[in-house]
């Protein structure tokens, strides 16, 4: 089920809230069981068979969580570590089968000039997210960053909780371990969370879906005819806006919904497109994934407090995995490795530490240039399309008068939404909001504004079937 | 505290909107209909295959059943219009706005093999007709979008599909008549012929088409007809201003085009007519004048953009099998027409010069699910004078070209 659907807004959410707050308010256990079951319904809506994959993951991780806790408390650390190893093997194995088996088999068989005999394997929605969360549970239990859950339903709730289930943020166990049993719902959180949810819907439906039309059109045209340089840039910028508003909108919805039920997830985005270096960009973009890799891969490998060559290796491993995490395609590998190179250069040279007005503009331009190039590979079906697209962007491939007409037509249809997207990707409204003195009138204006966003979003949802969601594939 | 109060205000307003949409809406009715449909579907296809249909029905109910569904669609159409959007994706169809503000369905390129197959099926029917002593003609009714100008980034294959199909018909020696060519000869533009928000032709151009088709039958097969019955000067006309939101407008919302909604011109003969109308398989039989039985006023009497379809005031809509007998003509010609919705407005005028007009709609109708009409057998039994297929462009499913 999608948050940005009338079924969720008008059926699932009201029903869940009424049951949670009115019928089950007397028992935390009942509330948790209900949220777990509701999450299964949410996940299985339309594709119920994948529920079993997730249930399997819940059972295994709950079991290993208990084992790790047992051995840890008995001071049998090697056994505890072995359990973590087996648990990771299971989780990554499941991820491998669903997500990477075909890719690997294709490579192996292509060496022998043959086609892989393995048929298409359907990808359970959000498997990359819930697998990483599941591993986080067992590891955090070992690290004493959260209580072990004896009740399997609580582990089930942590892994499958519907707000963050299918598109993150990746909520680490330590973040919500205490709140699973001891959270305190407040009206402040409830109202704030709902407002955040509505703003997230607006980002997703009004901006991401609109710019997606432009991105899809331009990327779809690659290989079919000449694309003008201007159109290629328009498409790349449109996609950059799409992925940001799509994903950050979904994160807003998830964080908001979490708050409505008393959970406090960490932020996932912090205006990444104002970054003045790639390092800063990754502190602002998909923060939950970055910190996951940092805490569970980069630091265990030694982090940056090691020899330069080792640090470079550590970075290589992290960014190779980050690329692969997004999908089984060479485009994601190239995308990840591009960031490895850029981050290594930034770390080793310290080149981005220089300050100054003009320098900051140059730094921002450099950052955005590579971020946009990165998104081109991220969006491309394969490396060849990605390279062709880059060729269009930098005027290498041929173009004709017709392609300019295409560009003008596209620009006419998308200029307003692109401009809105560019403005909204900066913290301008946040800054204005802080400067405005709050009183009833300003609050009313704000409320009406958010309500208008809601009406526009629902209007769009009931009018059009175009509602793509990028991170469902991950 | 202040921060909370603005969030509280936001929640109060939005919860009111949500509750209002549900309370005053018809979600339970839609759900009931949807569940009935799912039950039937499950009996034939099993539980597993019914799940996607079930979720889709629930989603539709919580969208279409909201009290303000149409208002929200209109609101969105105004936003899209002002933002410069020219394309609305509706899942099964895509509506595009032309440079002149007319709405049209965007068509993908059809595989040539499919067009070739369709042409071959038509050729087979042509032979069947000839073997049974009937003259045959394929009439290509105009398709909206064929000659329309769209933004440069819009790809539309209405024209290309039609042209390839006509080429295929030529290759298999099917006698055809293109009303698109006739439009060009008579200097009629698509903007004149079609509604702004609907894919059908206006009644006055359905009358024009009836005359052109009769003329073509005359030129090819010596068919004699009374031209005065197809002369618009001999018709009464009542114009309903701002009355009609067509199927394309219903999909986008009424403000997607700045041209607004359509006027509807109800034209009826001002000379004496008498018909009998039978809808086979529906226990429907009526006798009376053109106005009394071929005009269904319930579709036009009241104005409602989303629930009424004034175009269906001609013939009342689409039926699988319908027989119009013209009681003013003795020993008139018997014609079999394989039709689509363009015949709703066309057939009543066309029937004025025919003795008996048999209309077969080859699409699947829910009440006749799985039952296909064997057209060859139908021709053998009916022994018509003329057999005619008239479809708009080549937009229908392959199934309408399967005559058994």
Three-class secondary structure assignment of chain A: CCCCCHHHHHHHHHHHHHHHHHHCCCCHHHHHHHHHHHHHHHHHCCCCCHHHHHHHHHHHHHHHHHHHHHHHHCCCHHHHHHHHHHHHHHHHHHHHHHHHHHHHHHHHHHHCCCCCCCCCCCCCCCHHHHHHHHHHHHHHHHCCCCCCCCCHHHHHHHHHCHHHHCCCCCCCHHHHHHHHHHCCCCHHHHHHHHHHHHHHHHHHHHHHHHHHHHHHHHHHHCCCCCCCHHHHHHHHHHHHHHHHHHHHHHHHHHHHHHHHCCCCCCCCCCCHHHCCCHHHHHHHCCHHHHHHHHHHHHHHHCCCCCCHHHHHHHHHHHHHHHHHHHCCCHHHHHHHHHHHHHHHHHHHHCHHHCCCHHHHHHHHHHHHHHHHHHHHHHHCCCHHHHHHHHHHHCCCCCCCHHHHHHHHHHHHHHHHHHHHHHHHCCCHHHHHHHHCCCCHHHHHHHHHHHHHHHHHHHHHHHHCCCCCCHHHHC
Contact B90 A408 (CB under 8 A): no
Residues of chain A positioned with their CB less than 8 A from the CB of B13: 447-448, 450-451
pLDDT score of A469? 64
What sign does the dihedral B209-B215-B221-B226 (CA atoms) show? Answer: positive
Residues of chain B positioned with their CB less than 8 A from the CB of A402: 152
Q: How far is CA A314 from the centre of its chain?
A: 23
Q: How far is CA B156 from the centre of its chain?
A: 19
Closest residue in B to A9 (Cα–Cα):
B18
Of A190, A416, A455, the CB nearest to B72: A455
Other Cβ atoms within 10 Å of A134 Cβ, number: 28
d(CA A193, CA A264): 10
d(CA A243, CA A212): 9
Residues of chain B positioned with their CB less than 8 A from the CB of A45: 55
Closest residue in A to B81 (Cα–Cα):
A413
Closest residue in A to B16 (Cα–Cα):
A451
Residues of chain B positioned with their CB less than 8 A from the CB of A446: 6, 9-10
* Residues B263/B243, Cβ–Cβ less than 8 Å: yes
Contact B151 A446 (CB under 8 A): no
Residues of chain B positioned with their CB less than 8 A from the CB of A192: 3-4, 7
Closest residue in A to B56 (Cα–Cα):
A46
Residues of chain A positioned with their CB less than 8 A from the CB of B5: 440, 443
Q: Which residue has the tokens 């039920």?
A: A261
Binned at pLDDT 50, 70 and 90, residue A433 comes out as confident
Contact A402 B152 (CB under 8 A): yes
Contact A195 B75 (CB under 8 A): no
d(CA A100, CA A286): 22
Q: How far is CA B360 from the centre of its chain?
A: 14
A441-460 burial, b at 16+ Cβ within 10 Å, e below that, comes to eebeebbeebbebbbbbbbb
| First CA to last CA distance, chain A | 16
Contact B152 A405 (CB under 8 A): yes
Instruction: Kindly provide the ipTM of the predicted complex, given to two decimals.
Output: 0.83
Q: Which residue has the tokens 């491993």?
A: A317
Contact B88 A463 (CB under 8 A): yes
Closest residue in B to A408 (Cα–Cα):
B152
H/E/C letters for each residue in B21-41? HHHCCCHHHHHHHHHHHHHHH
Distance from CA of A203 to the nearest CA of B (A): 16
A365-390 burial, b at 16+ Cβ within 10 Å, e below that, comes to ebbbebbbbbbbbbbbeeeebbebbb
Catalytic positions of A: 326
State mean pLDDT over A99-110: 87
Kindly give, in sequence order, each residue whose CB lies less than 8 Å from that of residue B107, ignoring residues fewer than 6 positions away: B145, B156, B157, B158, B161, B393, B395
Q: Which of B76, B155, B254 to mutate against chain A (most A CBs within 10 Å)?
A: B76
3-class DSSP assignment, residue B392: strand
- The DSSP code for B185 is H
Q: Which of B307, B301, B291, B292 is nearest to B264 (CA)?
A: B301
Q: Which of A298, A273, A289, A284 is nearest to A370 (CA)?
A: A273
- The DSSP code for B110 is P
Contact A416 B22 (CB under 8 A): no
Q: How far is CA B53 from the centre of its chain?
A: 25
Chain A, chain B: beta-carbon pairs less than 8 Å apart = 146
Per-residue pLDDT of chain B (404 residues; tens, 9 = 90+): 445 578 888 888 999 999 998 888 888 888 888 888 888 888 777 777 788 888 888 888 998 899 999 999 999 999 999 988 898 888 778 999 999 999 999 999 999 999 999 999 999 999 999 999 999 999 999 999 999 999 988 888 999 999 999 999 999 999 999 999 999 999 999 999 999 999 999 999 999 999 999 999 999 999 999 999 999 999 999 999 999 999 999 999 999 999 999 999 999 999 999 999 999 888 889 999 999 999 999 999 999 998 899 999 999 988 899 999 999 998 899 999 999 999 999 999 999 999 999 999 988 877 777 788 899 999 999 999 999 999 999 877 888 998 87
Phi/psi for B295 (5° steps) reads -105, 125
- The DSSP code for B194 is B
Residues of chain B positioned with their CB less than 8 A from the CB of A210: 83, 85
Contact B11 A458 (CB under 8 A): no
pLDDT score of B1? 47
pTM for the predicted model, two decimal places: 0.86
Of A406, A448, A458, the CB nearest to B72: A458
User: If residue B1 lies in a helix (H) or strand (E), which one and from where to where?
Assistant: none
3-class DSSP assignment, residue B238: strand
d(CA B321, CA B342): 15
Contact A406 B22 (CB under 8 A): no
d(CA A243, CA A251): 12
Binned at pLDDT 50, 70 and 90, residue A130 comes out as confident
Distances (CA, A) of B355 to A254, A429, B285, B338, B339: 68, 73, 17, 17, 18
């Amino acid at each position: 089920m999608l948050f940005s659907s009338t079924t969720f807004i008008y059926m699932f959410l009201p029903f869940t809230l009424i049951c949670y707050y009115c019928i089950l308010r007397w028992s935390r256990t009942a509330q948790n069981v209900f949220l777990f079951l509701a999450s299964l319904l949410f996940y299985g809506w339309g594709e119920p068979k994948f529920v079993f994959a997730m249930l399997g993951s819940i059972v295994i991780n709950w079991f290993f969580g208990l084992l790790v806790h047992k051995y840890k408390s008995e001071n049998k650390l090697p056994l505890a570590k072995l359990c973590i190893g087996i648990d990771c093997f299971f989780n990554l194995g499941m991820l491998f089968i669903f997500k990477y088996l075909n890719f690997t088999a294709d490579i192996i068989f292509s060496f022998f000039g043959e086609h892989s005999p393995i048929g298409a394997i359907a990808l359970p929605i959000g498997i990359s997210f819930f697998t990483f969360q599941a591993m986080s549970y067992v590891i955090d239990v070992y690290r004493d960053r959260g209580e072990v859950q004896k009740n399997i339903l609580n582990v089930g709730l942590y892994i499958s909780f519907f707000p963050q289930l299918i598109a993150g943020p990746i909520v680490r166990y330590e973040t919500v371990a205490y709140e699973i049993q001891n959270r305190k719902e407040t009206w402040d959180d409830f109202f704030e969370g709902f407002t955040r949810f509505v703003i997230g819907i607006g980002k997703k439906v009004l901006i991401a879906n609109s710019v997606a039309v432009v991105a899809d059109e331009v990327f779809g045209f690659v290989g079919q005819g000449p694309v003008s340089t201007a159109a290629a840039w328009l498409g790349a910028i449109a996609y950059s806006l799409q992925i940001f508003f799509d994903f950050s909108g979904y994160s807003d919805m998830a964080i908001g919904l979490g708050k409505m039920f008393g959970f406090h997830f960490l932020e996932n985005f912090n205006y990444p497109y104002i970054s003045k270096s790639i390092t800063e960009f990754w502190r602002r973009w998909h923060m939950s994934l970055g910190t996951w890799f940092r805490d569970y891969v980069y630091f265990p490998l030694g982090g940056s407090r090691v020899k330069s060559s080792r640090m470079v290796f550590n970075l290589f491993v992290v960014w190779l995995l980050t690329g692969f995490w997004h999908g089984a395609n060479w485009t994601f590998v190239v995308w990840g490795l591009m960031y490895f190179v850029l981050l290594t250069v930034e770390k080793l040279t310290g080149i981005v530490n220089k300050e100054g007005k003009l320098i900051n503009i140059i730094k921002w331009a450099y950052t955005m240039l590579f971020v946009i190039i990165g998104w081109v590979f991220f969006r491309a079906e394969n490396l060849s399309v990605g390279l062709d697209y880059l060729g269009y962007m930098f005027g290498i491939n041929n173009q004709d008068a017709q392609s300019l007409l295409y560009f003008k037509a596209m620009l006419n249809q998308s200029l307003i939404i692109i401009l809105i997207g560019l403005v909204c990707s900066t913290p301008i409204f946040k800054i204005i909001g802080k400067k405005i003195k709050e009183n009833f009138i300003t609050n009313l204006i704000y409320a009406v504004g958010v309500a208008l966003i809601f009406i526009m979003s629902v209007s769009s949802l009931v009018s059009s079937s175009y509602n793509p969601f990028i991170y469902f594939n991950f | 505290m202040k921060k909370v109060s603005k969030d509280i205000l936001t929640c109060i307003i939005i919860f009111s909107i949500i509750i209002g949409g549900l309370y005053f809406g018809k979600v339970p009715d839609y759900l009931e209909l949807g569940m009935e449909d799912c039950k039937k579907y499950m009996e034939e296809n099993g539980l597993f295959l019914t799940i996607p249909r079930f979720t889709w029905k629930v989603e539709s109910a919580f969208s279409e059943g909201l009290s303000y569904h149409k208002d929200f669609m209109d609101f969105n159409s105004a936003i899209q219009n002002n933002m410069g959007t020219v394309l609305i994706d509706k899942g099964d169809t895509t509506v595009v706005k032309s440079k002149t503000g007319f709405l049209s369905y965007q068509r993908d390129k059809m595989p040539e093999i499919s067009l070739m197959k369709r042409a071959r099926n038509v050729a087979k029917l042509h032979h069947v007709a000839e073997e049974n002593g009937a003259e045959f003609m394929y009439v290509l009714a105009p398709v909206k979008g064929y000659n329309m100008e769209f933004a440069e980034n819009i790809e539309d294959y209405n024209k290309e599909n039609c042209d390839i199909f006509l080429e295929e018909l030529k290759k298999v020696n099917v006698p055809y008549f293109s009303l698109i060519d006739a439009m060009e000869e008579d200097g009629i533009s698509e903007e004149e012929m079609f509604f702004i928000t609907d894919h059908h032709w206006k009644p006055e151009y359905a009358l024009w088409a009836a005359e052109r088709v009769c003329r073509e039958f005359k030129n090819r097969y010596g068919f004699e007809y009374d031209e005065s019955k197809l002369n618009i000067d001999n018709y009464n006309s009542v114009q309903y201003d701002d009355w009609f939101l067509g199927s394309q407008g219903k999909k986008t919302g009424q403000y997607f085009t700045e041209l607004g909604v359509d006027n509807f011109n109800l034209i009826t003969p001002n000379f004496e007519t008498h018909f009998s109308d039978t809808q086979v398989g529906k226990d429907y039989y009526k006798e009376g004048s053109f106005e009394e039985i071929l005009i269904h006023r319930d579709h036009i009497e009241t104005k409602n953009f989303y629930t009424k379809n004034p175009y269906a005031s001609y013939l009342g809509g689409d039926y699988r099998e319908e027989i119009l007998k013209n009681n003013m003509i003795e020993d008139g010609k018997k014609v079999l027409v394989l039709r689509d919705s363009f015949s709703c407005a066309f057939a009543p005028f066309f029937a004025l010069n025919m003795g008996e007009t048999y209309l077969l709609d080859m699409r699947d109708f829910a009440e006749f699910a799985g039952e296909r009409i064997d057209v060859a057998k139908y021709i053998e039994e009916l022994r018509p004078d003329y057999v005619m297929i008239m479809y708009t462009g080549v937009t229908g499913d392959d199934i309408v070209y399967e005559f058994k």
